[in-house]
Structure 1
Amino acid sequence: MRIIHSADWQIGKVFKQFGAKEETLRQARLSAIERLGVHARENGVRHVLVAGDVYDSEAPCAHTLRAPIERMKTFGDVHWHLLPGNHDPHRPEGVWDRVAQLGVPENIHLHLSPIPATLDENAALLPAPLLRKSEFDDITAWMDAASTPPGALRIGLAHGSVVDFGSGGEASNPIDPTRAAKAHLDYLALGDWHRTLQVGAKTWYAGTPEPDRTGGQEQGTALLVDIAGPGAPPSITRLVTGTYRWVTRSERFDDEEASADLDRRLREEPDLSRLVLRLKLEGSLPLAAYGAFRRRMIDLDAAVFDLDLDEASLAARPTLADLEAIDFDGVLRRSADRLKKIVDDSSAAPDLRRRAEEALVELYLRVAGAVREEAA
């Protein structure tokens, strides 16, 4: 049997920190559903399992409620199996009752109770929906004694954190990492962790189909799962579903070449305009090199989808040549000297040193710009 395992769509997620770009990221999460449908058709898959957090909240607006349903409708030959997670638990008159009231088509299945469901004549689905945001007991425990047809594949679907996983999940909701073995499952499809992760031979987190944070999964994925038969180990293939790549880089600068090398490497990233980049920098640069670095960052900011630049630990350290370029012996040079003394004074307050450093850089850039204009 072949299925696609997905999770953590979180439709309606807010990205206020991105300002005018927020709606673009929200739409990308819907586009990921369409890619899942395309992957299903291209790979001959009839069942897509979504392991919780279809919605980002329990109270989505009417448009957000309908949007994923409409995308799934267009793939009528694919069966979509949806499970409540900790962001969208199944409560009375909650989000899932609202979805049911819409009258979902026959190819969309809401698994709102821990009851075995038939995928086909050779496979049964054992869902473990969340009825509240946080559970203290393992909601997959019932699977151990669940009855399924003889010879049928047993596939579990749950949302939570495996018990030895530490603080990786968003809610407590413990799940025994050996549940697949205890319940004789041929595959356990998990959601909650936003990275693709193998927990055991037959237990996987799919990761999110569209990333939502830096420092996590760089690109959205789902899992194509092939199961030859009962007891056979599943074969897993990662499928790319995401539009944007969320990349975090930490770099240290000690000279101009390091800055130029970083720029070259970033320019080699695929689909630069779809890159959400968090760049953390440390080290120091001479003023001239720092000026060149700033110009590169302005260009890079225009090239990528979004640039979050953290240069709090990157210092501009003026050389004698830098100071000579400002003014050989005039009021600007004397101002530069005073600023440099503050920058070099380790006993000065960090904020004061940083402001002096910024002022020195700005002074250098203004003078350098004026010199270039005169030369032109």
Structure 2
Amino acid sequence: RNPMIMCVSHMISAALALAAGLSLPVVGRARAFRTPSRPISISNSGAAQRVLVTDGLAPAALDALAAGGADVTSRSLTEDELCAGALAAYDAVIIRSATTLRADALSAGAAGRLRVVGRAGVGVDNIDVAGAHASGVTVVNTPSASTASVVEMTLALLFAAARNLPAADRGLRSGEWLKPPARGSRLGSELAGKNLGLLGFGRIARGVAAAAAALGMRVFAYSPHAASETASPLGVTLLPSAEELFCTCSHVSLHCALTPQTRLLVGGEMLERMPAVGPDGAACGSHLINVARGGIADEAAVAAALHAGTLTSYASDVFDQEPLPADHPLLGCPGFIGTPHIGGATREAQDRVGLQIAAAVLAVLDGRVPEDGVVGVA
């Protein structure tokens, strides 16, 4: 083991543990990652480990990697470079959502030095985890680093949708005073007393549940992995299917992973099930929030529902194609609220993401299992 790497990664882990006490409390257990029961075997001759950072990282994280003895390179790679084996020159690569690692790129990298892929974030749908495992490459991520930020982003989108804030702002800037009952205005509704459905029940969804309950919302959730002992302390009612969730809730927020089973899960039929009246009798409309992945919602069906009025608003931070094309159908829809995948883009979250992925990568390079966020291990 490299003593420098071992010492620094322990220091980072201790600092993160201390910082965790200051972040948003989350009740319950995170979704399970496949954590190995044995040490990760990686040869280390004592020479500097080469780490490539493709999509940027917080300065403190770059400093931590360097302090741990890593030789850090920051540069992006094209798909052709990845397939040609550019990763073979590095012991580890740290990516964000802008880089996609397919099985052929991972195999080519593993033919050389590559042994670790670090995903600075939660979702690993841009990494062929099975391909990494087959090539002997360990994949780690940071499942808890951006929880508080994405919870707050979800609440921001819920408020913006319920009160039609973006349209009111645009109207004011263009000289329109869109206060109801003015033409073109929409009377808002309170979140208190409404049913909120959570599709998925991981860390972020549980944080949203706690905040929404404090606002007076009735919270429901569906996840095939959710347990009543996790939901009950939060006052959350678990439902047996996604269909029943949409039938029950006028407000639905997406928090599940993008998998073959969840791709395009939310389409026209699902949206038509949503009630536009809350249990308190208020005509609140139907609202869909997405801070998970764009591919979970069928964007063409969402656009059609917004134009038809069967869906009042779609507030999304994520899209199937990013950046969103200028001619995307959603951009011309009434009730559409969009942000450019900034749910985790806060100073606090980015510092945590960077330090956590640095600690995880350094741990694996030292032959140890990280405390959190092991997605797949060879």
The reply to whether TM is greater than 0.5 is: no
Could you tell me the TM-score, scaled by structure 1's length?
Answer: 0.32
Structure in which a larger fraction of residues adopt strand: 1
Larger RCO (alpha carbons 8 Å, 6+ apart): 2
Could you tell me the TM-score, scaled by structure 2's length?
Answer: 0.31
Bigger Rg over Cα = 1
